[in-house]
Structure 1
Amino acid sequence: MTTTNNAIDYVAVVERYLAAWNETDAVKRRELLAAAFTEDAAYTDPLADVASRDALDMVIGAVQGQFAGLVFTLGGPVDGHHDVVRFTWNLGPEGGEALVVGFDVAQIAADGRVRKVSGFLDKVPAGL
């Protein structure tokens, strides 16, 4: 189910979010991060807890290094209300089975960018 808010396009928010996580070119990724996240965006999941866009950029770079060649895709419907969106994502080879599955809840700033993320890992490879 995708719930809408007159001021927020939840699917577009998530698409910008995933595009930033998938961009491997550092310069382009910084541009995508600026479009998708506030400068002081906070990101917390079981493996990371950071509080700035620069720190999130470093987390994304590390994830890309650990899972080189894999891509993030939307794992189901996007659901949102007010200034909150939730969605499931998959990380795996393009067109292949997900090696990692997660669930994120994001708070959206008035300008439509993400300001806070709480992430959960539902499926992880052994040893992660």
Structure 2
Amino acid sequence: MNTVLESYLATWNAGDDATRSQLLGEHWAETASYIDPLAEAVGRDAVGATIAAVRGQFPGFVFSLVGEPDAHHRQVRFQWGLGPANAEPVVIGFDVVTTDDAGRIDQVLGFLDRVPG
């Protein structure tokens, strides 16, 4: 699952549409879904648009792993942070990622633990 997490964070941290699209194509199932309290997206294009919108809202910020992930079978749960590189995260969330039979990201269920006011 370490590879899944690396691919997941790389997709969220991709600064341009072409790189993000490539990562989505390589590591996400075609019908992947992403759901959190603020967004619901189904399919690679919709997930990519959601990621682009978040990156537009927080330019220059990076997603990073917070703590240790916990995985079993085809799922992993982990806490992440979003903020300036090498600084305290401004946003902290918790995601559960499942994979399909080919090991691609299939579903993401996200929760927001700390959001700026």
TM-score by length of 2: 0.97
Structure 1: any 5+ residue segments left out of the alignment?
1-9
CA RMSD between the two structures: 0.7
Which has more strand, going by share of residues? 2
Structure 1 position 85 matched with structure 2 position 98: no
The match for 1:116 among 102, 107, 111 is 107
Q: Could you give the per-residue CA deviations for residues 46-79 of structure 1, whole angstroms, max 9, x where no partner exists?
A: 0001111100000000000000000000111111
User: CA–CA distance in 1 between the matches of 2:31 and 2:93?
Assistant: 23
1:29 Cα deviation after fit: 0.8
User: CA–CA distance in 2 between the matches of 1:47 and 1:79?
Assistant: 24
User: CA–CA distance in 2 between the matches of 1:63 and 1:93?
Assistant: 14
Could you list the runs of 4 or more consecutive aligned residues of structure 1 that deviate by over 2 angstroms after TM superposition?
Answer: none
Question: 1:31 corresponds to which letter in structure 2?
Answer: Q
Partner of 1:61: 52
Question: 2:2 corresponds to which letter in structure 1?
Answer: V
Partner of 1:22: 13
1:125 Cα deviation after fit: 0.5
The match for 1:38 among 13, 20, 29 is 29
Aligned-residue identity in percent: 49
Aligned pair count? 117
